[in-house]
Amino acid sequence: MQKAAFKFIGEHDFRNFCKMDAANVSNYKRYITDFNISACDQRSNHDELWSMNIRGSAFLWHQVRCMAAVLFFVGQGLESPCVVDSLLDITKTPRKPQYTMAPELPLILRSCLFDGVSFMCSSDASQALIEHLKDEHHQYMLQAAIFDEALTCLSIPEPNPLEHPKKKRKHIPLLSREAEPSYEERRARVKAKSANV
């Protein structure tokens, strides 16, 4: 995943890694300065919590969620890291393959930096945010404890030899999937729609 993440660094056309808005956006080039994946100190059963830290000059609509989704395919061994190269090459792949973006829940916007602008946060606002996050953490920990207790009350059913195990859906490689309309096709539709008005 880290090998694939490094491929995002630099200036690229990210039209295959966003929700395209051809009516309002004509430039899909963005500059990623850093992309690191690292382990956190949290574990749950056999799962580890990992962090993706991404820095860039700007991001497109759902860009980070789309990049993460492709990286998850790579991490599961369903795609090669070079799929990122193919999706960033808009002459080779002018249309975005259809795939589900990663969920928004774990995303955290940590900071925004602007040339010549300095943000300040009052101590009251900082304290209110800290209290809010502590309260949210407490509520989620309480929910987790309730679910854990509920799980201990359940018995694990014996497997039924007459039931057929559910088949896992076969992964369709990204570059073999149906693709969304290209930017040019979307622009043509927008123009045709506005000409009819």
Question: Residue 173 in contact with residue 77, Cβ under 8 Å?
Answer: no
* Residue 46, pLDDT above cutoff 90: no
* Range with the poorest average pLDDT among 9-18, 33-42, 88-97, 123-132: 33-42
Question: Residue 29 in contact with residue 11, Cβ under 8 Å?
Answer: yes
E strands, the chain, in order:
10-13, 29-44, 47-56
CATH number (3.90.340.10, 3.10.20.30, 1.20.120.1760, 3.30.70.660) of 1-114+171-195 reads 3.30.70.660
* Residue 72, pLDDT above cutoff 80: yes
pLDDT digits (tens, 9 = 90+) for 102-152: 999 888 888 887 888 888 889 999 999 999 999 999 999 999 999 989 998
* Residue 45, pLDDT above cutoff 80: no
* Residue 21, pLDDT above cutoff 80: yes
Residue ranges covered by each domain of the chain: 1-114+171-195
Q: Determine the straight-line distance between the first and last CA of the chain, rounded to whole angstroms.
A: 47
User: Of the candidates 26, 2, 27, which has an alpha carbon nearest to the alpha carbon of residue 12?
Assistant: 27
Cβ neighbourhood burial of 113 (10 Å; 0-12, 13-18, 19+): exposed
